[in-house]
Amino acid sequence: MNDMSFANLVRDLEVDNAAFRQNWDRLAPADRTYVVVFTARSGSTWLTSVLSATKQLGYPEEYINPDFVRAVAQAQNTRDPECLLQMLKRRRCTPNGVFGIEVRAIDVALLSEETFFRVFDDKTVFFNLWRDNIVAQGISLFRAVATGHYHSTDGQVRSPPSYDGEEIRRWVRHIAITENDNLRMLRRAQRPIRGLRYEDIVRDREGTIEAFARALDVSIEPRELVGPVEGETRKIGDDWNSKAEQRFRREQAGYVAEIEGTRLIKAEASVICGSVENGDRQSYATKRGAGANGGLSASKPPLGNRAMDPQQIFRCKLADLGDIKNDFRGILAPESEVESIPKGVTAQFTDNAELYHQRYFSTDQTDWLLRNTFARIRAPEVRPLILDIGSGSGSTVISLLKMFRDSHIVASDVSAELLSLLRAALRRADSEQNVTTVRLDLNKNWFHEELFDFAVGKAILHHLFDPALLVEQVFKAVKPGGSLVFYEPFEPGNAMLALVLRQIVDAANSNQHMEANVLKYLEQRIGVVQVMRCEEKAIVKYANIDDKWMFTRSYFDRVAKRIGADRLIIYPTSKTNTPFQEAITTWLRIGLGRSPDAVPQWAWDLVHRAEDELSVDCKEDILMTGCIIFTKATGGTGEPLLTAGEAVRSEGDVVPVAEARRLEEQIRELERVLGRKTIEVERLKEAVGLARN
């Protein structure tokens, strides 16, 4: 048996069974219970002191922490895990019958999840306490461990330790693992939760108390909400923490991005909704709570509830699609378009909308994309009006609502089925007032001009017959100084990858072993790159093809000139040393549901060999996927448009001229590596403007 099992920890404990029975018979159990699931340095001790001080909201301590549980079991006179929890509900509840406990997944595992969730059943309110800034959290934990100073009730701060980047890395990873373990545990238990974000609760002590009181049906007197209470813990971080964070983020940028990419909370516990995948998809934000990113209660939503009359936005008269199909109630459409279906809309967006949602919904990715974008351009200011193009089931909408809590968003898509999934999430979070959902084809001029502070479309242009037309129409609706942003696939990087795939396919067809279905899939991917070349699309040929385009910088340069953009920025959405490996891995996961080991090692060796021949700059400049930003001038005084011939390099921006020179050299080198010239090489040259007469 594991030495850290509960049975071993209490094996030799002397208990008074008579005292246990007396307390069991004498005391009534709490009739209202709650569990706070937390990570270290997420504000749990502060929360305990604040809630305990009310004397009405329980005394939520870490009763089953392995470091404390033996002493707790001794005090409760039991060596049985279920009896321990039941006795705590009797002896550690407030006089009004409220009991609270703080746990991590590791604590619950000590007693067993089966036991814990039998005691804390579906009548229990579950809160998930987390911290958005995991780097600051890791530094706080590093400092606490190094100095032995975890908490303060008087604000006194001990001298900080020497900076140690490796130790901070270790603690940041520890927190991320704990955070993910907590969420997985809640998934398995299928418990709806309410989110508590550290950054929100420490700024709103009164609102936090009110949220717990509402959830537990407790009436709190106003005097209980006034000021810090005696014994309340105080923040002990200081300027050293801030400087340490800046240094760590500067020196460990890649590591921070890696950690952020692993955090389930960012993808599944957003301000609006998330999902628990346990066979059936379930709401993560329920009528009990608006979400896990600071949304404390559906009755007190965290957003600004900025309502707006849609007719103020549109030139045309709108109708509710619910008049045709009740499932679409609340989704609007231009009155003239109610009976029509936009061209190019295939079954994956309609009949198979739920499958499409499950496959592609990820707020983790859109959070990251938007943060990188707003590091390069001015973010919309107070109470912005935002247009989301091709919203689908809402990952970008949800990320935008987290970033701009008092915004109003027009969520548009050609699929009413996908928009209905978004509306369901908004209803669960009581956030419908912040979003107008509209089914429409944005190739037409529906909006009043100079209306939106910001417009964004993720993975939308490559589905269209005429992407430039949509860009032109939407750009008119953006305010002066505002930006129009897209995230799209690019041909140069994908064409170069197709060269590598062709070498793999040829080898597999001659003398190397590869599973037949994997080989066929890689051949199809080569064909997809050819089909999506950056050239005009005939409606007859492409009517039933969902993914129509991969783009080039030259294409968007022409579009920028056409629409009169003041500035054009293009940058890669990810910086990686293994772009081809990551692309193939993603394709295998999405297209075949397979892991990387579906591709034999000899094929990966070819991929890595090709990647090793490319410089870091080349891997960035060839672009597999990129962000495209069109910015409108403010009163005609903005910066001049960056063109292919005039561009000057700035941090994170793309320079077509310099990049072309590097690509020319790298294409020659890749030809040498592959040992031949192919038609794909010629097409790649053509795509980057390097074809020679």
Residue 452 sits in a domain whose CATH number is 3.40.50.150
**Residue of 413, 409, 412 whose CA lies nearest to 384:** 409
Same domain, 513 and 601: yes
Query: 423: which 2 tokens?
Result: 């509306």
> Does residue 637 register a pLDDT over 60?
no
pLDDT computed for residue 289 by the predictor: 33
Do residues 18 and 94 share a domain? Answer: yes
The answer on 617 and 671 residing in a single domain is yes
Structural domains in the chain (count): 3
473: in domain: no
In this predicted structure, what is the pLDDT of residue 403?
A: 86
Q: What are phi and psi of 294, to 5 degrees?
A: 95, -5
Q: What is the pLDDT of residue 517?
A: 94
Q: Is residue 102 part of a domain?
A: yes
- Whole-number pLDDT of residue 339: 77
pLDDT, mean of residues 484-507: 95
| Residue position matching structure tokens 């979003």 | 435
Q: For the domain that residue 263 is a member of, what is the CATH number?
A: 3.40.50.300
Q: Which of 144-153, 168-177, 193-202 is least confident?
A: 144-153
Query: In this predicted structure, what is the pLDDT of residue 272?
Result: 29
What pLDDT, in 10s, does the model give residues 432-463?
889 999 998 877 888 999 999 999 999 999 98
**In angstroms, rounded to a whole number, what is the distance separating the alpha carbons of residues 20 and 363?**
49
The arithmetic mean of pLDDT across residues 652-676, rounded, is: 54
Q: Label residue 400 by pLDDT band (50, 70, 90).
A: very high
Report the distance separating Cα 568 and Cα 557, nearest Å.
7
The per-residue pLDDT for 673 is 58
Co-location of 532 and 672 in the same domain: yes
Q: Which of 147-151, 488-492, 595-599, 627-631 has the lowest mean pLDDT?
A: 147-151
Are 111 and 170 contained in the same domain? yes
Would you list the DSSP string of 502-553? HHHHHHHHHT----HHHHHHHHHHHHHHHHT-SS---HHHHTT-S----B-H
pLDDT at 365: 80
Q: Within a domain: residue 678? A: yes
Looking at the fold, whether 124 and 259 belong to one and the same domain comes out as: yes
| Residue 578 backbone phi and psi in degrees, to 5 | -130, 60
pLDDT digits (tens, 9 = 90+) for 101-122: 999 999 999 999 999 999 999 8
This prediction's pTM = 0.54
342 shares its domain with 276: no
Q: Are residues 623 and 675 in the same domain?
A: yes
Are residue 125 and residue 228 in the same domain, yes or no? yes
497-556 per-position pLDDT tens digit: 999 999 999 999 998 899 999 999 999 999 999 999 999 888 778 877 888 999 999 999
Determine the Cα angle at 97 with ends 95 and 100, to 5°: 105
- State percent of the chain over pLDDT 70: 78
Single-letter amino acid code for the residue at 674: L
> Which residues form the domain of 260?
6-283
Q: How large is the average pLDDT for residues 409-430? A: 86
Q: Which of 410, 390, 409, 387 is nearest to 345 (CA)?
A: 390
- Residue 59 in domain: yes
- Note whether residue 417 is domain-resident: yes
Percentage of residues in the chain having pLDDT higher than 90:
48
Most confident option among 212-226, 553-567, 651-665: 553-567
* Domain stop point among 404, 436, 458: 458
The CA-CA-CA angle for residues 365, 371, 376, to 5°, reads 130
Confidence band (pLDDT; 50, 70, 90) for 236?
A: low
Separation between Cα atoms, residue 498 and residue 494, nearest integer Å: 6
Q: What pLDDT was estimated at residue 382? A: 74
pLDDT at 404: 87
In whole numbers, what is the pLDDT of the chain averaged over residues?
A: 81
Model pLDDT for residues 50-95, shown as the tens digit of each residue? 999 999 999 999 999 998 999 999 999 999 999 999 999 999 999 9
Angle at 390 between CA 384 and CA 391, to 5 degrees: 65
Q: Looking at the structure, tell me whether residues 254 and 115 fall in a common domain.
A: yes
- State how far Cα 659 lies from the chain centre: 31
Asked whether residue 484 is domain-assigned, the answer is no
Dump pLDDT digits (tens) for 321-349: 998 888 899 999 999 888 776 655 655 55
Half-sphere exposure of 512 (CA within 13 A, CB side): 16
Which residue is listed with tokens 């071993």? 8
Mean pLDDT across 607-631: 90
Domain shared by 112 and 225, yes or no: yes
Residues 577-614 as b/e (b if ≥16 CB within 10 A, e otherwise) read eebbbebbbebbeeeeebeeebbeeebbebbeebbeeb
Q: What are phi and psi of 280, to 5 degrees?
A: -90, 145
User: Which of 267, 283, 299 is the last residue before a domain boundary?
Assistant: 283
Range from 214-223, 617-626, 671-680 that averages highest in pLDDT: 617-626
Inform me whether the pLDDT recorded for 416 exceeds 80.
yes
Q: Are 291 and 272 in contact (CB under 8 A)?
A: yes
The answer to whether residues 82 and 112 touch, using CB atoms and an 8 Å cutoff, is no
Give the pLDDT score at 638.
36
Task: Look at residue 543 in the predicted model and tell me its pLDDT.
Answer: 75
Query: For the segment 257-316, what is each residue's pLDDT rounded down to a tens digit?
Result: 888 888 888 755 433 233 222 332 232 223 223 333 333 233 333 344 456 788 888 989
Query: Looking at this protein, which amino acid is placed at residue 302?
Result: P
1: pLDDT strictly greater than 50 = no
The pLDDT assigned to 286 comes to 30
Domain C-terminal end among 405, 434, 458: 458
What pLDDT does residue 642 have?
A: 38
State the Cα–Cα distance between residues 346 and 685, nearest whole angstrom. 33
- 8 Å CB contact between 407 and 383: yes
Task: Please indicate, yes or no, if residue 533 is contained in any of the structural domains.
Answer: yes
Of 126, 280, 128, nearest to 192 by C-alpha is: 126
DSSP state of 321: G
Q: Same domain, yes or no, for 446 and 562?
A: no
Residue 290, pLDDT score: 33
Question: Residue 289: which of 280, 305, 278, 300 has the closest Cα?
Answer: 300
